[in-house]
Structure 1
Amino acid sequence: MSEEVCYSSVVFSTPYNSSAPVKNNEATVYAEVKKAELAPVKTVKTHPEQGDSRTTGQETWSPAQTPVKTEHRCQPQQGAIVFLSLTCASLLAGIIAVFVCYYLTTGQLRKDQTLLDEILQFSNFPVKQYCSKERRCSRCASGWMFNNSKCYFVDLDKPWKTWEDSRLECIKMGADLLTIQNKEEQMFIMNFAPTYYDEWHGYWIGLTGKAQDWVWINGSSLTTGFWADAGSQFKTHVLTNTGHKDKVLNSWRSVNSDMANRWICEDKALLF
């Protein structure tokens, strides 16, 4: 960078003395003074004075100022985004928890209402037979077997009885003798009731009549039978023999009603 050189004249005068000789020529001393340039500073005039067309929209430099870089800091904004994300996640989890709680509660209420409707069908509901001390109720009374909306009971302790007495035993329990409606139920009974004594003894079922006029105790006519043979239909009451497990669909025999046998009771299950 070129340096500006200034020259100045310095005159040294002596104190006034009348006796001192006066010189015509004075000594001149030249000194070099170097002046360094100041770095220009860029400034922007944002609000020019009215009428000053030279500086409007223009950038000027001021030696009294230096350029300043402005740094943009995003850390506070990032923190706010994280906070909002966590808040939304917490709210969503709370909503899901409330929904699950509501679903479970309403489901239990519907189940309880259905159970109540079933209980109201009884004139005197036997709570101890269906429900435990913790008030947890089963579909069937204690000692009964549930299968496809029905409950079944076989008394293996009492003496064998005639068809009429066997039906009375079922009625005392609020039930009736077994009615078999289809093949699936017949197969279930053959597996449910154990074999006893001999092949001629079995379990009384609720079918009466003779020949081609067999009627169930509920008043419906027989549509599908599981007879052991054609010659077993000449008596008036029917039992199912479980002695031949290989003849599941051929086990019915008609016998006299005064013959003593075991019996199978049937009742409607609580549906809830």
Structure 2
Amino acid sequence: MMEEEVNYSTMVFKTGASLTKEKIEDSTIYSEVKSKAPAGPPPAPEKNEDPTIYSEIKTKAPPAATSAAPEAEGKAAACSHFPLLLACSEILCVLLLAGIIAIIYMSLLFKVQSANLSNLTAEYQRLAVEKEISDNKTQELRRERDNLNQTLEVILKFDNFPVNDYCPNKQCQPCRSGWIPFKNKCYLFYNENAPWKTWGASREYCKGKAADLVVVDDLKEQEFLSSHITYYHDDYHGYFIGLQKTANNWVWIDGHNDTLSYWMKDMSDSSVSYVLIIPGKNATKSWVKADNVFENKFICETDALLLST
């Protein structure tokens, strides 16, 4: 077997005092440096040899003192951070307490606001109901006012108001007996036997009733009139209405020009100046021209005593 190669080095420590040769020799420390030495316990020194301190230097072996230093430094750092951690804990506790107080306050405030909102909602609903009732009463009062004004206007047309005709049994109605109501108007369809009347005589009869010959305002009224007239005598006889020719224009007796033109046929005779509605014809094509000597039935119109609701 090959013997292990051992290198010895002598290290001398100077203490500043003079040492004797024996003490220097005794204080010699041998350090065994092994290269490529196999693992295993170092060889025991022989008995005859002087007690020598062997120090085996091994690669990557940290000294014992170095492991204790970081631990001490960590403890010192921990001790120095403790007051800071304590202060942070106190701040967090204060913030948490403030947050809890804020949540409780906001909860109470929300409950109060919810109660106020409920009260306001109930008050708004009450006011809305009262406003609706007030509006209905206002509309009713306006209708009553308009009815009174209408009634007064109709009454003033008469020199002697026919109370029994408008208010039989003391119950007033929109139209007199024998008159037909339509859209706040009253209509009298003259259906007496012959002799009938000319256009002028027809108008005088209507005025004697605090009325006048009918003025047609729209198709609805024209259809209403057509539905209440009946055929009599022959195809040329009809009912006079309040339309006449003035300065080559067809003008209603209330002064406005005609724009409806519900003519049955065109008549070029310029001498005729009045208009008849012929029964049994299409409502939009039922007017014919007539002169003042031609006697016919007629239609009177006046305002209703009471407005329809």
Normalised by the length of structure 2, the TM-score is 0.49
Q: CA deviation at 1:117?
A: 2.2
Note if contact 1:190-1:248 (Cα within 8 Å) is conserved in structure 2.
yes
Deviation at 1:115, TM superposition (A): 3.3
CA separation of 1:105 and 1:236: change in aligned 2, threshold 3 A: closer
Does structure 1 residue 142 correspond to structure 2 residue 177? yes
- The structure having more radius of gyration, on CA atoms, is 2
Q: Residues 185 and 301 of structure 2 are in contact (CA less than 8 Å); yes or no, is this contact kept in structure 1?
A: yes
Q: Secondary structure at the match of 1:224?
A: coil
Q: Distance in 2 between matches of 1:232 and 1:189?
A: 26
Q: 1:128 to 1:109 in 2, by over 3 A?
A: farther
From the two aligned structures, give the one with the greater helix fraction.
Answer: 2
Q: 2:149 aligns with which of 117, 120, 123?
A: 117
Aligned partner of 1:191 among 217, 224, 227: 227
Number of the residue aligned with 2:238: 202
Q: Deviations over 1:2-21 (max 9, x none)?
A: xxxxxxxxxxxxxxxxxxxx
1-structure distance, mates of 2:247, 2:261 = 12
Per-residue deviation, residues 116-155 of structure 1 (Å, max 9, x unmatched): 32222122443212112143x2111111111112111012
Would the aligned equivalents of 1:232 and 1:254 in 2 still touch at CA under 8 Å? no
Q: Partner letter of residue 183 of structure 2?
A: N
1:131 aligns to what?
167
Match of 2:249 in 1: 213
Residue 190 of structure 2 corresponds to residue 155 of structure 1: yes
The residue aligned with 1:262 is 297
Q: Does the 8 Å contact 1:203/1:262 carry over to 2?
A: yes
SS at match of 1:179: coil
- Secondary structure of 1:188 counterpart: helix
The residue aligned with 1:10 is none
Q: Larger strand proportion, structure 1 or 2?
A: 1
DSSP 3-state at the match of 2:168: coil
Partner in structure 2 of residue 236 of structure 1: 273
Change (3 A) 1:154 1:233: farther
**Could you say which residue in structure 1 is the equivalent of 2:212?**
176
Sort the Cα spacing of 1:180 and 1:106 in 2 relative to 1 into closer, same or farther, 3 A. Answer: closer
Query: What per-residue deviation string (whole Å, max 9, x for no partner) do you get for residues 189-247 of structure 1?
Result: 110112211110000111111695111111111111100112267421111111x34x2
3-state secondary structure, aligned to 1:204: strand
User: Percent of aligned positions with the same letter in both sequences?
Assistant: 36
Label 1:260 to 1:209 Cα distance change in 2 as closer, same or farther (>3 A): same
The corresponding residue for 2:261 is: 225
Structure 1 unmatched ranges of 5 or more: 1-101
- Residues 168/103 of structure 1: CA separation in 2 closer, same or farther (3 Å cut): same
Q: Go from structure 1 to structure 2 and tell me whether the alpha carbon gap of 1:115 and 1:229 turns closer, same or farther (over 3 Å shift).
A: same
SS at match of 1:190: helix
Number of aligned pairs? 172
Three-state SS of the structure 2 residue aligned to 1:153 is strand
- Structure 1 stretches of 4+ moved >6 Å: 102-110
Unmatched 5+ stretches in structure 2: 1-133
Partner Cα separation in structure 2 for residue 223 and residue 203 of structure 1:
20
TM-score (structure 1 length as normaliser): 0.55
CA-based RMSD? 3.0
Q: Contact 1:139–1:146 at 8 Å: present in 2 too? A: yes
